[in-house]
Structure 1
Amino acid sequence: MKTTTKRKASMADRVYEALKDDIFEFRLIPGDKFSEGDVGARLNASRTPVREALYRLQREGYVDVLFRSGWQVKPFDFQQVEELYDLRITLERAAMHKICALPAEPQTLRTLIAIWNPDHPSERAVGSTVRALDESFHCDLVAAAGNREMTRIHREITDRLRIIRRLDFTRDDRVDATYIEHAQILEALRTGHATDAADRLTRHIRSSQKAVREITMEKIKEAAEAHRGGQEIAQKSPVKQ
């Protein structure tokens, strides 16, 4: 019995990861509709793990269940995204001031300085690694401020914005800007200039926000055009007798 339960849980995890990857890579685009049967057939999974995976994605805000008509990839709510960015900036600016008011420089600051001030550009992280490091940079700074509730709320916002923030690292110029701007923020913190650090942080986040919105729109447009192209080919293909 335990083995069967573990197997179902493992399959649900695999379905979850596969669907989430499809959403993140825009193979499933905002607004796309599908059924549990579609997912099961494509991933060779039974109904129970498929449903478990979909409900997990629903809790995380990636999909919606439609009454009597299956599931849908949740459309982007850009107004909500703007509001989440506003809240994120408010929390991170407050963290800058709290860090500078601490009696001693937190170890977190020294660790982050070592990461974001590499001796040579060749030592910079790439791909998914730099995405993870960027997320840790912001989360670690908020945590270093020492307010547990602030840290918790900031983590929730980070989780909800992850699907679009990751796109900020698909262009080399954005990676370069991230290293430069992170280093400048850390230098302002190290020297105790809280307002300068907060202002630099705000400009950094707003620049990233603008870039990911543009890239998101481009990705959705490209994916939608590819979908339409595939449908047209399918409709023109001769039916085999």
Structure 2
Amino acid sequence: MATNTKRKESMADRVYEALKDDIFEFRLLPGDKFSEGDLGARLNASRTPVREALYRLQREGYVEVLFRSGWRVKPFDFRQVEELYDLRVTLEREAMHKICALPEEPLALRTLTAIWNPDHPSERAVGSTARALDESFHCDLVAAAGNREMTRIHREITDRLRIIRRLDFSREDRVEATYVEHAQILEALRAGHAQDAAERLTRHIRASQAAVREITIERIREAAEAHRRGQEIAQESP
């Protein structure tokens, strides 16, 4: 029984990761519809793990169920994204002031400084590693402020923005900017300049927000065009 349960969990995880990767890489576009049967056939998975994976993705906000019509990749709501960024900026700015008001410098600041101000550019992370470190940077700063509810809400916002924030690290210039800006934010914090840190943080987040919006629109357009060409070729084939 335990073996069967583990096998189902493993299959559900595999379906989850495959479908999430399709969404993240725009092989499935916002608004695309699909059925549990089609997904199961494509991934060679039975109905139970497919449904478990879909419910998990639904809870995370990536897909939605349609009444008697299967499932759909959740369309991008750019207004909602902007509102989430507004809330994120508010929380992180407040964290800057709370950190500077602490009686002692949090250990997290020294740890983050070692990561974001390396001795040589060759020590900088790239790709998915840089993306994960960036997410940790912002979450660790908020956590260092010492407000558990602020930390919890901020992590929820981070989870909901992850699908587009990852695109900020698909361009080398954005990775370079992230290292420079993170180092400047930390320098201001460690000097006790809360307002300066808050202003630098705000500019950093807003620049990232603008970049990921631009990249997201471009990637959706490119994927839609490639899909259209693929359909035309398929129709022309004998």
Amino acid at match of 1:179: Y
Task: Say yes or no: does 1:162 pair with 2:153.
Answer: no
What TM-score, normalized to structure 2? 0.99
Which residue matches 2:108?
Answer: 108
Q: Shift of the alpha carbon at 1:95?
A: 0.2
Q: Deviations over 1:80-135 (max 9, x none)?
A: 00000000000000000000000000100000011000111111001100000000
Matches for 1:65-214 after TM superposition, within 5 Å: 65-214=65-214
Cα RMSD, aligned residues only: 0.5
Are 2:218 and 1:218 aligned? yes
Q: Where does the alignment leave 5 or more consecutive residues of structure 1 unmatched?
A: none
- Residue 12 of structure 2 is matched in structure 1 by 12
What SS does the corresponding residue of 1:71 show, helix, strand or coil?
strand
Q: Residues of 2 paired with 1:115 and 1:51: CA distance? A: 40
Deviation at 1:38, TM superposition (A): 1.0
Amino acid at match of 1:38: D
| Partner Cα distance (2:224, 2:58) in 1 | 22
Give, in whole Å, the separation in 1 of the partners of 2:229 and 2:47: 30
2: distance between equivalents of 1:176 and 1:97?
A: 26
SS in 1 for 2:196: helix
Query: Matches of 2:108 and 2:166 in 1, distance apart?
Result: 23
Match of 2:45 in 1: 45
Give the superposition deviation at 1:236.
1.2
Alpha-carbon distance between aligned partners in 2 of 1:10 and 1:181, rounded to the nearest angstrom: 40
Alpha-carbon displacement from aligned partner over 1:158-204 (angstroms, at most 9, x marks no partner): 00000000000000000000000000000000000000000000000
Determine if the alignment matches structure 1 residue 3 to structure 2 residue 3.
Answer: yes
**In 2, Cα distance between the equivalents of 1:130 and 1:5?**
35
Kindly state the Cα deviation for residue 37 of structure 1 after the two structures are TM-superposed: 1.1
Distance in 2 (alpha carbons) for counterparts of 1:127 and 1:39: 29
Identity %: 88
1:48 partner amino acid: T
Range that drifts further, 228-237 or 157-166: 228-237
Counterpart residue identity of residue 30, structure 2: P
Other-structure match for 1:230: 230
Distance in 1 between residues matched to 2:237 and 2:181, nearest whole Å: 52
Amino acid at match of 2:111: T
AA matched with 2:2: K
Partner of 1:36: 36
Q: C-alpha separation between the residues in 2 aligned to 1:149 and 1:104? A: 21
Instruction: Give the residue type in structure 1 aligned to 2:222.
Output: E
Counterpart for residue 58 of structure 1: 58
Letter in 2 for 1:237: S
Distance of 2:230 and 2:40 partners within structure 1: 22
Letter paired with 1:143: A
Structure 1's consecutive aligned runs of 4 or more residues displaced over 3 angstroms after TM superposition are none
Alignment TM-score, normalising by the size of structure 1: 0.98
Which stretches in structure 2 are left out of the alignment for 5+ residues? none
* Separation in structure 2 between the aligned mates of residue 121 and residue 12 of structure 1, nearest angstrom: 40
CA distance in 2, matches of 1:106, 1:6: 41
| 3-state SS in 2 of match to 1:65 | strand
SS in 2 for 1:50: helix
